[in-house]
Structure 1
Amino acid sequence: MKLKRQAQAKTLRDFRKIHRITGVLLFAFFFIVGLSGILLGWKKNSGGLIMAESYKGQSVKLAEWISLDSLHKNACSYLKDSVSPSLSAEVDRIDIRKDKGMVKFTFKDHFTGLQLDGKSGKLLFIEQRRADYIEKIHDGSIVDYYLGWDGYFKLFYTLIMGLALIIFTITGFWLWYGPKMMRNK
């Protein structure tokens, strides 16, 4: 009985050590993930600070809209004329908001977004896509973005953070449950 209790105490000490070392090594990353996660959770309720409001176009009827090609050309022109001629016009995503009568264009190499009226093609709003930037911080892809890597840092980062969360869950549970089990014997 005493040998079993000593083995349980050793396991508890080992788990406490693993929990502590993992926490110390990854403290800054957990802080970043936590803070960015809070910001992402509040993005739609930030009054446009983190995520811009979606503006409304003239018509929700797609038949009345100008062609996607024309909208794309307009977006590229607005980007060059209204934001900066030096920014890349390579589109990352085109988000069609039929219910708003609006199309959002986001770009691959920067965090600018343009909202255009689907019917007229006129510029409704220029946004800085802070939520996209925060998301890249949250998932580690910001490193890939700035270093031009092909998503390799994000893969490594999410693997490490996921494994650390699993380790914290297991060791944390044992640090809570282990002493209770030892007291009951």
Structure 2
Amino acid sequence: MSTNRQQQARVLRTFRKVHRWTGAALFILFFLISISGLLLGWKKNSGGYILADTEKGSSTDLSKWVSFDSLETQAVFYLHQEVDSTLSGEIDRFDVRPDKGTVKIRFKDHYWGVQLDGATGKLLTVERRRSDFIESLHDGSVIDNLEIIPGGYFKLFYTSLTGLALLTFTVTGFWLWYGPKRMRRLNH
């Protein structure tokens, strides 16, 4: 066997080992990412289970809408009345849908939200924000949300690790496919 062929075979064996050990070590993370990614891809087609359908309000004319502080008061009231009076009423964001006459309000410390009519402040729906939970699993922020590691560093570590692992799989997987073809072509 020529030295060149031996080197190529050694490189292939190394790539195979890296590919196998990386896959084995990160199996659970890749499993979570793939399942959560599939669910996120299907969220708008889940019949309202993963992501609640956006309801229609009574007016799309923004000049007829109530103020944001009134919407905030109404959102917290409905959260406490319809779900649990002990839940935090701290709001994470307002998702304004002028074309639907609706405001979706997401709370900061849990996965509940409400949809209100922008013109009246009346409750349109209470939603369990499953898609937000799935997204936080997908990007690793679920750990940051628990504040186990302060500063949001877990998500940075998690996305860096999984991104670099995916890059490693791409390179080693390509070489495991292409390397033997190249060796056969060079030997003929």
**Is 1:91 equivalent to 2:91 in the alignment?**
yes
What is the rounded CA distance, in whole Å, between the counterparts of 1:35 and 1:83 in structure 2? 28
Q: Please say which of residues 140-149 and 69-78 is displaced more in the overlay.
A: 140-149
After TM superposition, give the deviation of residue 53 of structure 1 in Å. Answer: 0.4
User: 1:48-86: CA deviations, max 9, x gaps?
Assistant: 110000000000000111111111111111112222110
Residue 33 of structure 2 corresponds to: 33
Q: CA deviation at 1:150?
A: 2.7
Q: Report Cα offsets for 1:83-126 as digits up to 9, x if no partner.
A: 21101111001000001100011011000010000111000000
Distance in 2, matches of 1:65 and 1:57, equals 10
The correspondence of residues 155-174 of structure 1 with structure 2, limited to 5 A, is 155-174=156-175
SS of the equivalent of 2:27 reads helix
Q: Deviations over 1:28-65 (max 9, x none)?
A: 11111000000000000000110000000000000111
1:143 equivalenced with 2:137 (yes/no): no
Q: State the partner residue of 2:50.
A: 50
Q: Secondary structure at the match of 1:184?
A: helix
- Residue in 2 aligned with 1:113? 113
1:125 matched to 2:125? The reply is yes
Using the alignment, how far apart are the partners of 1:91 and 1:76 within structure 2? 9
Give me the whole-angstrom Cα distance separating, in 2, the residues matched to 1:82 and 1:129. Answer: 15
Separation in 1, partners of 2:157, 2:7:
35
Which digits, 9 at most, give the CA deviation of each residue in 1:2-48, with x for residues without a partner? Answer: 11111011000000000000000001111110000000000000001
Q: Secondary structure at the match of 1:93?
A: strand
Aligned to 1:75: 75
CA RMSD of aligned residues (A): 1.0
Matched residue of 1:125: which SS?
Answer: strand
2:12 alignment counterpart: 12
Aligned residues: 185
Is 175-184 or 71-80 further displaced after alignment? 71-80
Give the counterpart letter for 1:90 in structure 2: E
Distance 2:68 2:24 in 1: 51
**C-alpha separation in 2, matches of 1:147 and 1:91:** 18
Distance 2:151 2:37 in 1: 23
Q: Tell me the TM-score normalised to structure 1 length.
A: 0.97
Secondary structure of the residue aligned to 2:54 is coil
Equivalence for 1:184? 185
In structure 2, stretches of 5+ residues that fail to align are: none
Tell me the distance in 1 between the aligned counterparts of 2:71 and 2:63: 14
Q: Distance in 2 between matches of 1:28 and 1:83?
A: 33
